[in-house]
């Protein structure tokens, strides 16, 4: 019995000496036992309005001849005349783009042989002045082979305005950060940034403009729909005059109590 008591007296002090001493405030002890990651997320959004400064006018040039080779040659000649006229009107040649031609035989009421060949070519013209549009309209009035099929409006400063709304959204978040730090006596350290949404879209401001231009051109030639396949029109049109840019960001901040002095 004495030997057991002696053994216990030797072991217990050694165990007590091996246990580390824990120091700190009650809050420090709570953080040690129940660690909590304190992260707060702040959100910010911004909008900017701009106006389209250029337009893309899509026209088609249609020629029809008994021989396919003549129809191709006639279409090429007419498009070259069109290009030269547009250049004289002040439009840069680099802004005039021709697509690949398409041809389709025109069959008569009798027989399997085509009665003629039709060649169609689309020309996309980028303009930035109203006078340029007037020049194009004048050419369509003077040539029944030329038709306006669509007009889409664009804003050339997409990159600049995208950065602008992103910066504004971030600035709003940093304003919130400063307000929380001042009011709650905390420090917020950014640990993650998320882009919820950033982009632009057009309002319907100029939708009526395109409708007037295209409708007026098509009315001049009522057979347009019959002579041109809609599948050929390579367009992704979103006509607008006013452009609205939007950005929405979220930033995660690590929360740290501010150091206080007595």
Q: What is residue 47's three-state secondary structure?
A: strand
Are residues 73 and 167 both part of a single domain? no
CA angle 235, 77, 121 (to 5 degrees): 20
Q: Are residues 143 and 132 in the same domain?
A: yes
In a domain, 46, yes or no: yes
3-state SS, one letter per residue, for 72-100? HHHHHHHHHHHHHHHHHCCCCHHHEEECC
Q: Is residue 101 part of a domain?
A: yes
pLDDT digits (tens, 9 = 90+) for 142-168: 999 999 998 888 888 999 999 999 999
The answer to whether the pTM exceeds 0.75 is no
* Structural domain includes residue 19: no
**pLDDT value of position 51:** 86
| CA gap 158, 197 in Å, rounded | 15
CA angle 255, 261, 262 (to 5 degrees): 135
pLDDT tens digits, one per residue of 119-147: 999 999 999 888 898 899 999 999 999 99
Q: Tell me, what CATH number does 70's domain have?
A: 3.30.70.2970
Q: Is residue 79 part of a domain?
A: yes
- In a domain, residue 75? The reply is yes
Q: Which residue has the higher pLDDT, 111 or 15?
A: 111
H or E element that contains 212: helix 207-220
Tens of pLDDT, residue by residue over 73-91, are 999 999 999 999 999 999 9
Question: Does residue 2 fall inside a structural domain?
Answer: no
**CA 8, CA 167: separation in Å to the nearest integer?**
70
Over residues 157-210, the pLDDT tens digits come to 999 999 999 999 999 999 999 999 999 999 999 999 999 999 887 655 545 455
* 162 and 259, same domain (yes or no): yes
What's the domain count of the chain? 2
């Amino acid at each position: 019995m004495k030997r057991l008591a002696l053994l216990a007296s030797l072991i217990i002090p050694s165990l007590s000496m091996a246990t580390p001493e824990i120091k700190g405030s009650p809050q420090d002890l709570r953080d040690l036992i129940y660690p909590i990651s304190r992260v707060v997320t702040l959100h910010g959004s911004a909008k900017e309005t701009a106006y389209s400064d250029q337009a893309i006018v899509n026209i088609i040039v249609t020629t029809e001849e008994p021989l396919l080779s003549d129809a191709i040659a006639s279409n090429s000649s007419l498009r070259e005349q069109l290009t030269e006229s547009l250049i004289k009107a002040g439009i840069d040649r680099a802004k005039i783009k021709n697509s690949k031609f398409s041809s389709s035989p025109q069959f008569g009421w009798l027989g399997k042989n085509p009665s003629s060949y039709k060649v169609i070519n689309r020309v996309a013209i980028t303009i930035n002045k109203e006078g340029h549009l007037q020049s194009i309209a004048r050419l369509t009035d003077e040539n029944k082979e030329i038709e306006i099929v669509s007009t889409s409006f664009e804003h050339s400063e997409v990159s600049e305005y995208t950065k602008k709304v992103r910066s504004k959204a971030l600035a709003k978040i940093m304003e919130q950060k400063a307000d929380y730090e001042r009011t709650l006596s905390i420090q917020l350290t950014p640990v993650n940034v998320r882009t919820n949404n950033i982009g632009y879209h057009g309002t319907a401001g100029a939708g009526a403009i395109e409708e007037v231009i295209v409708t007026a051109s098509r009315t001049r030639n009522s057979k347009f729909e019959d002579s041109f396949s809609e599948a050929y029109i390579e367009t992704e049109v979103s006509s607008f005059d006013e452009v609205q840019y939007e950005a929405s960001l979220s930033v995660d901040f690590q929360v740290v109590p501010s150091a206080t002095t007595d």
